Amino acid sequence: MTVVVVLVAVLAVDVTSFITASDASKEAFKTATLLKTLTVNALITGEVGVGKRSLASYIIPDAPIIDASDFDELLTNIESSREVIIVNLENSPNINTIVNAIEKNNTRIIATSKSSFENDYIDNLFSVKFNIPPLNSRLEDIEFLVDRFANEASKLFGSTIDFDMNSFVPDLSTNANSLRRQVMINSLLKDIKDTELMEILEKYLFNKLGSNSDYREFLYLYEVPLIKSGLKRFKSQLQLSDKLGLNRNTLRKKIADNKDYL
């Protein structure tokens, strides 16, 4: 099925920007909606890029968002604000002092963390803890995220791009973060000119050159995309070798030499 960037996934997208197409996402959103009506502290855990910050902002939308590593800034906001969102709680250099300040000032906290961790102060502070699963276990959300990021890219680059979800292999290494980057790059490259592509390679290579074997070492940057695109288009090594004007054995050797990238 083709996802066209001009379509908007209205039914699966909440105003929070948190996708709720999968059952796991719906459960996380349901918990967040309940927390909007309460005044308790909550800890949201999950990998990078799963939507923790989006849900935290949905729960307390007007609260300042402070990284736990910024100790002084966090303490200042805890003392001056009724509600605070703390991101990356695991990065706090002194969690005990932070918790004491929260309790002293009676500040409501919604915090995020990459993982749950054992700490008596944390256990006592947060009445509610819930986890957002990674995208590889929320597959129903991916198509809507691709659509959203494609719309964003369309506005940014002034062009439209279609994603065939049957052939598109999403990069979920850092969940929505890597997926967004992938969609943006695909959109950017859609109408790229050869001079622009060469400029990208020039900037990439500028600080990497310097050895006596640079030509051989960086030849894969040309050969790999040529071979990959050729195999996809012509379907066989025989046809590709003919189109490239290469001996079949020469093509096989180049494929073997670049096996780590093909």
Section 134-163 average pLDDT: 89
d(C-alpha 146, C-alpha 153), whole Å: 10
Question: 23: buried, middle or exposed (CB in 10 Å: 19+, 13-18, 0-12)?
Answer: exposed
**In this predicted structure, what is the pLDDT of residue 121?**
78
Strands annotated E in 38-121: 42-45, 65-67, 83-87, 108-113
Q: Which helix (H) or strand (E) holds 115?
A: none
pLDDT, tens digit (0-9, with 9 covering 90-100), for 3-26: 333 233 333 333 357 999 999 999
Question: 97: buried, middle or exposed (CB in 10 Å: 19+, 13-18, 0-12)?
Answer: middle
Q: Is the pTM of this model over 0.85?
A: no
The per-residue pLDDT of the chain, averaged, comes to: 89
Tokens of 74: 């966090």
Section 93-121 average pLDDT: 91
Q: Which residue ranges make up each domain of the chain?
A: 1-12+138-191, 23-136, 193-262
Section 164-168 average pLDDT: 81
**In this predicted structure, what is the pLDDT of residue 5?**
30
What lies within 8 Å, CB to CB, of 62 at 6+ separation is 83
CATH for 23-136 (3.40.462.40, 3.40.50.300, 3.90.79.10, 3.30.70.141): 3.40.50.300
Q: What are phi and psi of 260, to 5 degrees?
A: -70, -15
d(C-alpha 203, C-alpha 7), whole Å: 36
| CATH level 3 topology of 193-262 | Arc Repressor Mutant, subunit A (1.10.10)
Share of the chain above pLDDT 70, in %: 94
Pairing of strands 128-131, 83-87: unpaired
